[in-house]
Amino acid sequence: MSFDDFANHQPDAVAALRQLSGAATAHGLEHGLVELVKIRISQLNGCAFCLQFHLGLARQLHVAERKLDLLAAWRDAEAFDARERAALNYGERLTLLGGAHLGTADRLVAGAEFSASEIEQLTIAIAAINAWNRIAAALHFPPRA
């Protein structure tokens, strides 16, 4: 099934997910930062459709190619600033809840770089991309040509 088929069959769900997905940047979180997190989570979840989509958005936003190239190994790359590292760590921990829930240390790292409101916005963005990844994987959305 393609994304377009899904969108035609489930317009209310697509509209709701799009609204949820845009909430973080609509309330001030940097769009490039959010795209980095969405790309990293899509890497973790193995979602080719979402990877291609968000890599395209990141390039439109002029996110540095070096960051996109090194994102899978962000912990070992000096290309990312403290705020990006905190967001990526938070995104990974929230996505991989099955291993262990977010700990106090994870919240402290995020809290050192983000306000409480920004953490809420980041959490919403992470939840949204995880939902998109699961829908795209379950319904086998192919990446767009």
> What digits encode the pLDDT tens for the residues 92-108?
999 998 777 777 787 78
Question: Within a domain: residue 144?
Answer: no
What interhelical angle do 31-45 and 11-26 show, nearest 10?
A: 130
Task: Give the mean model confidence (pLDDT) for residues 17-35.
Answer: 92
Question: Within a domain: residue 143?
Answer: no
> Is residue 28 scored above 90 in pLDDT?
no
pLDDT attached to residue 104: 79
The number of distinct structural domains making up the chain is: 1
Taking alpha carbons only, the member of 101, 30, 43 closest to residue 71 is 43
Pair of tokens at residue 87: 């967001």
Pair of tokens at residue 8: 């035609």
Integer Cα distance of 118 and 23 in angstroms: 11
Cβ proximity of 54 and 42 under 8 Å:
yes
Question: Within a domain: residue 33?
Answer: yes
Task: Give the mean model confidence (pLDDT) for residues 132-140.
Answer: 96
> Is residue 130 scored above 90 in pLDDT?
yes
Q: Give me the phi and psi of 28, to 5 degrees please.
A: 110, -15
Give 90's pLDDT tier (boundaries 50, 70, 90): very high
Question: Within a domain: residue 145?
Answer: no
Report the chain's C-alpha Rg in angstroms: 15
Domain hosting 56: range is 3-138
Question: Within a domain: residue 77?
Answer: yes
CATH number at residue 107: 1.20.1290.10
Question: Within a domain: residue 134?
Answer: yes
> Is residue 25 scored above 90 in pLDDT?
no
Instruction: Tell me which amino acid residue 67 is.
Output: K
The DSSP element (H or E) to which 53 belongs, if any, is: helix 48-60
The DSSP element (H or E) to which 95 belongs, if any, is: helix 82-95
3-state SS class at 42: helix
Question: Within a domain: residue 106?
Answer: yes
> Is residue 145 scored above 90 in pLDDT?
no
> Is residue 53 scored above 90 in pLDDT?
yes
Task: Give the mean model confidence (pLDDT) for residues 19-33.
Answer: 91
Question: Within a domain: residue 53?
Answer: yes
